[in-house]
Amino acid sequence: MPERLVTRFDGISRAPKMVVHATFLQKVILCAVAGFAAACLVQWGKVFVEGADKALNGGYEHRASDPLAPRK
């Protein structure tokens, strides 16, 4: 016999003691969402680092000359 959702005991409500398990499909969807979030975070990190590198070294690009570049 399942327990009621909320039981009162001395004025304090308790969570139900019934255990709820996730289905296989729910686990697959959760892993897909977590994988997508991780991929987004990695891509954001790459863009952030590239942008920071350009901002940091942007002032030196017009002065720097490539010694291996052909002369005009």
Residue type, position 51, single letter: G
Give the pLDDT of residue 47.
93
Residue positions counted in the chain: 72
What span, in angstroms and rounded, lies between the C-alpha atoms of 62 and 56?
13
Q: Which single residue is written with the structure tokens 């296989």?
A: 24
Stretch 48-52: mean pLDDT: 90
Whole-number Å distance between alpha carbons of 57 and 10: 67
User: What share of the chain has pLDDT > 90, as a percent?
Assistant: 38
How far is the first Cα of the chain from the last one, in angstroms, to the nearest whole number?
88
More confident: 29 or 52: 29
Residue 34 has pLDDT above 60, yes or no: yes
* pTM score above 0.85: no
Q: What is the pLDDT of residue 14?
A: 64
User: Of residues 41 and 57, which shows the higher confidence score?
Assistant: 41
Tokens 């289905």 -> residue:
23
